[in-house]
Amino acid sequence: MRIIMDFKTQAAPAAGLAALTGADALLVVVCGDKLPAMDKPLADLLAAAVKDGDFKLERGQLLQAWRAAGVRAPRLVFVHGGDGAPKALRKAVGAGLAPLKGGGAQRLAIAVAGGPALEAAHGEAVAAAVHETLYVYRETKPSAPPAARLAGVTLVCGKGEATAAAAGLARGDAIAAGTTLARECANRPGNHCTPTFLAEQAKKLAKSHGLKVEVLERKDCEKLGMGAFLAVAQGSEQPPKFIVARYNGGAKDDAPVVLVGKGITFDTGGISLKPAAEMDEMKFDMGGAASVLGTLRAVAGMKARVNLVGIIPACENMPSGRAVKPGDVVTSLSGQTIEILNTDAEGRLILCDALTWAERLKPAVVVDIATLTGACVIALGHHRSGLFSADDALAAELLAAGEAALDPAWRMPLDEEYDEALKSNFADMGNVGGRAGGAITAAMFLKRFTAKLRWAHLDIAGTAWKSGAAKGATGRPVPLLTHFVLSRAR
């Protein structure tokens, strides 16, 4: 569910934070290892808590008070925000909201004490944290807890901070709208989120945000010769959809930024069937597609002056009497033939035809986003997405976007030596290269289809969702992608 939240800045009252009006909850983010300067009621309260050992001046500490003497806001939470950098602030606001989100607070004020001057990145981090923390999935769970009553958040600003902080809040809010859309799509189970559902989501977005959407059906893809995409789709009862969504915010002849998102709405592995354990998580195998929709939403929501095209090859990977078999050879849209040695390496098969199709858009750059390999999770874990590009400038742009958005990536190699693994005796290439360097050989496979493009690949297998008790989609890498696209706007 999308939370509509009003984000504003508010000037710090001359009399001090305790005199702040208009808020029924006050979250004070305390930074640094010394007691920060604050007005008396708050300073006394915090000093006493530190003295009593109930609040340490270190990251992650939390202290709550209700109807504290001399403080206007009835709910008061102190949280320690480390050095006050945007990353620490995002964590602190998330932690500080936890005791408030199920309660009665409706108007929250957030103040940062003892930290650096607030900049746009701080505002963005605050908005991101609020949306991230308050999100509740309820599409297929009527018993989910009700949405928090919080409807407005103000960020208390000192002299000269308000303009930048307000711009940051607005940007964070727009990015969060995209991230939330991506989470909503990816969290839906495979029987709800089908290729047809993804096409409908794109059409909905077209209506609400002025995009142009085109959906190629199986027949259209057959005529074009998308043999690799169709081979994956052929085992399923669900019709495949090849979705193209365009946002035209730039000048007519601006070459578009193109994002290609893997849209496997469920990955059983096909005839190379996956084991049962955790197979349910393969409903998240359309996380790349979801991030493309989310980025379109964020960029269009900000009316950025850029042309952006999202391409989503969407289908299910199922075993059946019609399914593609190990050893089958197919002809891709590029004309290159592929021996499908493992039907579970399906993501690269749908992406290669989408990358070839993207050539006709004469793009400025193409970035594909895919939950592509378990090997990437082994290599990088769940913190950084894997970034692959032979183009140093493009790689640098994407890495910088990830750092700025607090949605980081890490560059991986693409040396030609890795290409060896894809050799086949029966086709131009095989679709797998063995266990060693699995994330890299997958990227090398895609690289064979990008000779005419400025191209980068993001493997988000470790970052698109969380497992365990907090199982759910993260909406990543919408923040990275949105920053990247914005940095390319006029």
The count of other CB atoms within 10 Å of the CB of residue 399 is 20
Residue from 375, 412, 414, 480 that binds ligand BES (CB under 6 A)?
A: 375
State the binding partner of 432 from Zn ion, Mn ion, ligand BES, none, CB within 5 to 8 A by kind: ligand BES
Quick one: DSSP state of residue 45? Answer: H
Size of the site for ligand BES (CB under 6 A): 16
267 binds Zn ion per the rule CB under 5 A: yes
Binders of ligand BES among residues 175 to 204 (CB under 6 A) are none
Whether 303 is a known active-site residue: answer no
CA distance 211 to 294: 13
Instruction: For residue 172, give both structure tokens.
Output: 């964070």
- Residue 274 CB, shortest distance to ligand BES, in Å, is 7
DSSP code per residue over 169-189: HHHHHHHHHHHHHHHHHHHS-
Selection from Mn ion, Zn ion, ligand BES, none that 195 binds (CB < 5 to 8 A by kind) is: none
**Do 26 and 76 touch, CB atoms closer than 8 A?**
yes
Residue recorded with tokens 């399906």: 346
Please say which residue, 431 or 482, places its beta carbon nearer to ligand BES: 431
Residue nearest to ligand BES (CB): 374
If you write DSSP's letter for every residue of 316-380 in order, what string do you get?
EE--STTS--TTEEEE-TTS-EEEES-TT--HHHHHHHHHHHHGGG--SEEEEEE---HHHHHHH
Report the Cα–Cα distance between both ends of the chain, in Å, rounded: 32
Residue carrying structure tokens 């009252």: 13
The one segment of 71-79, 342-350, 448-456, 481-489 that binds ligand BES by CB under 6 A: 342-350
Q: Is 274 one of the catalytic residues?
A: yes
Stretch that binds ligand BES, among 209-217, 298-306, 340-348, 398-406 (CB under 6 A): 340-348
Name the minimum Å distance from CB 346 to Mn ion: 5
Does residue 173 bind Mn ion (CB under 5 A)? no
Which residue lies nearer to Mn ion by CB, 111 or 264? 264
Interaction partner, residue 39 (Mn ion, ligand BES, Zn ion, none; CB < 5-8 Å by kind):
none
For 36-119, where are the alpha helices, taking DSSP H only? Answer: 40-51, 86-101
Closest contact distance (angstroms) between CB of 464 and Zn ion is 11
Q: How far is CA 160 from CA 109, 110, 157, 166, in A?
A: 18, 17, 8, 11
- 459-478 binders of ligand BES (CB under 6 A): 461
* Stretch binding ligand BES (CB under 6 A), from 33-41, 43-51, 92-100, 338-346: 338-346
Shortest distance (Å) from residue 344 CB to Mn ion = 4
**Closest C-alpha among 173, 191, 192, 70 to residue 128:** 173
- Residue length, the chain? 490
Which residue minimizes CB distance to Zn ion? 267
- Burial class of residue 23 in the structure, from the number of CB atoms within 10 Å of its CB (0-12 exposed, 13-18 middle, 19+ buried): buried
Per-residue interface string for the shown chain with ligand BES, residues 422-461, x marking contact by CB under 6 A: ----------x-----x----------------------x
Element (H, E) at 263: strand 263-267
- Smallest distance from the beta carbon of 270 to ligand BES, in angstroms? 9
Q: How far apart are CA 65 and CA 24, in angstroms?
A: 13
Residues 331-350: x where in contact with Mn ion by CB under 5 A, - otherwise, as a string:
-------------x-x----
Helix (H) or strand (E) holding 196: helix 195-209
Residue from 267, 316, 407, 459 that binds Mn ion (CB under 5 A)?
Answer: 267
- Judged by CB under 6 A, the chain residues 260 through 299 that form the site for ligand BES are 267, 285
Task: Name the catalytic one among 188, 241, 262, 348.
Answer: 348
CA–CA separation, 317 and 237 (whole Å): 10
Q: Which of 24, 39, 173, 285 binds Zn ion (CB under 5 A)?
A: 285
Distances in Å between the Cα of 460 and the Cα atoms of 48, 66, 180 are 46, 42, 17
Kindly state the smallest distance separating residue 449's Cβ from ligand BES, in Å. Answer: 17
Number of residues that bind Mn ion (CB under 5 A): 3
Q: How far is the CB of 343 from Mn ion (least distance, A)?
A: 8
How far apart (Å, rounded) are the C-alpha atoms in residues 127 and 132? 9
By beta-carbon proximity to ligand BES, the closer residue of 20 and 461 is 461
Q: Which residue numbers are catalytic? A: 274, 348
Give the footprint of ligand BES on this chain (CB under 6 A). Answer: 267, 285, 342, 344-347, 371-375, 377, 432, 438, 461
Give the footprint of Zn ion on this chain (CB under 5 A). Answer: 264, 267, 285, 347
Give the footprint of Mn ion on this chain (CB under 5 A). Answer: 267, 344, 346
